[in-house]
Structure 1
Amino acid sequence: MTKFFLALHVLAAIVAVGPVTVAASMFPPALRRAQSAPDDQDSRTTLRTLHRICRVYAAVGLAVPVFGFATASSLGVLGDAWLIASIVLTAGAAAVLALLLLPAQEQALAAPGSTGTRAAARLSMLTGIFNLLWATVTVLMIIRPGSTTGA
């Protein structure tokens, strides 16, 4: 059962987190383009599409920690420091996405021409933090410091 949960956990991470990181990273440059041509409907459509991808895949991404906890429980590693660090970092990434990044995207969508370059810069920074948190979790999942499972 452990291998099944691990496979679901990894697949959920790839399918859910990957699109969010890419779409969130594409949003600030698309916002800058929309700011330079506020009447361009294609730019607004691109922004709405990227934001929707972020929202939908953020919801799908809830499966990642669910399958992660199932995997960790079946491996008996719920108390390991690397896993606790990963859980904290994952919660931080989720908080950045839900409380900062998605609302900032929504605000930029409301009036992309009037948000100014600070909005795009702030979104770039938030996206970088979000992506760095996920990259760190990925590394922790691969190297598992202190793990006795052979990795």
Structure 2
Amino acid sequence: MTKLFLSLHVLAVIVAIGPVTVAASMFAPALRRAQADPSSERDLANVALLHRICRVYAGVGIAVPMFGFATAGSLGVLGSGWLVASIVLTGAAAAVLVLLVLPAQDRALSDLTAAAGVSDAGATAPGIATRAAGRLAMHTGIFNLLWATVTVLMIVRPGSTTGA
């Protein structure tokens, strides 16, 4: 059963977390392109698609900790320090995604759709929009760094008899 849980856990990470990290990383540059030309339907559609990918796969990502806990329970490592650290970092990554990245993407998309319907005089000031895109990129980078750290902990497993 352990091999099944581990396989499902790794597949869930690849299928759910991979698309979120890629789409979230692509969002800020796509946002900047769309802000440069708010009338571009293609740029607006790209930003909307990237946001949808992030939202959908963030929801699918709940399978990662579910299968992770099942795997850890079957391996008997629930109290291991590396696993506790991984759980805390996974929670932090989820919080960054849900509390910072996704709401900022929502606001940016709303601003873009509003700007697409008005003249340049009614659009968001360029400096404010650029700072928002920069902040979003920073939060996305933090999210990705947290996931990279969890990945390393899962592979190396400090103190484990099978760790590197």
TM class by shorter chain equals: over 0.9
Say yes or no: does 1:73 pair with 2:73: yes
Task: Give, as a single letter, the amino acid of the residue that structure 1 aligns with 2:38.
Answer: P
What does residue 99 of structure 1 align with? Answer: 99
Deviation at 1:150, TM superposition (A): 5.2
Deviation at 1:116, TM superposition (A): 1.1
CA distance in 2, matches of 1:34, 1:111: 11
**Cα deviation 1:14-71 (Å, max 9, x = unaligned):** 0000000000000000000011001111111101100000000000000000000000
CA distance in 2, matches of 1:21, 1:69: 22
Task: Give, as a single letter, the amino acid of the residue that structure 2 aligns with 1:148.
Answer: T
**2:9–2:63: 8 Å Cα contact kept in structure 1?**
yes
CA distance in 2, matches of 1:99, 1:145: 30
Deviation at 1:148, TM superposition (A): 1.9
Say yes or no: does 1:139 pair with 2:152: yes
Q: Structure 2 length as normaliser, TM-score? A: 0.90
What does residue 20 of structure 2 align with? Answer: 20
SS of the equivalent of 2:26 reads helix
Q: Which runs of 4+ in 1 moved over 6 A?
A: none
Deviation at 1:149, TM superposition (A): 3.1
SS of the equivalent of 2:138 reads helix
* Unaligned runs of at least 5 residues, structure 1: none
CA distance in 2, matches of 1:111, 1:104: 10
The percentage of counterpart residues that share the same residue type is 72
Task: Give, as a single letter, the amino acid of the residue that structure 2 aligns with 1:138.
Answer: T
**Cα deviation 1:114-136 (Å, max 9, x = unaligned):** 25101110111001000000000
CA distance in 2, matches of 1:33, 1:98: 24
Deviation at 1:111, TM superposition (A): 1.1
Q: Structure 1 length as normaliser, TM-score? A: 0.97
The number of residues matched between the two structures is 151
What does residue 45 of structure 2 align with? Answer: 45
SS of the equivalent of 2:131 reads helix
Task: Give, as a single letter, the amino acid of the residue that structure 1 aligns with 2:23.
Answer: A
Task: Give, as a single letter, the amino acid of the residue that structure 2 aligns with 1:3.
Answer: K
What does residue 119 of structure 1 align with? Answer: 132
CA distance in 1, matches of 2:159, 2:59: 32
**Cα deviation 1:73-123 (Å, max 9, x = unaligned):** 000000000000000000000000001100000000011352510111011
Deviation at 1:12, TM superposition (A): 0.2
CA RMSD of aligned residues (A): 1.0
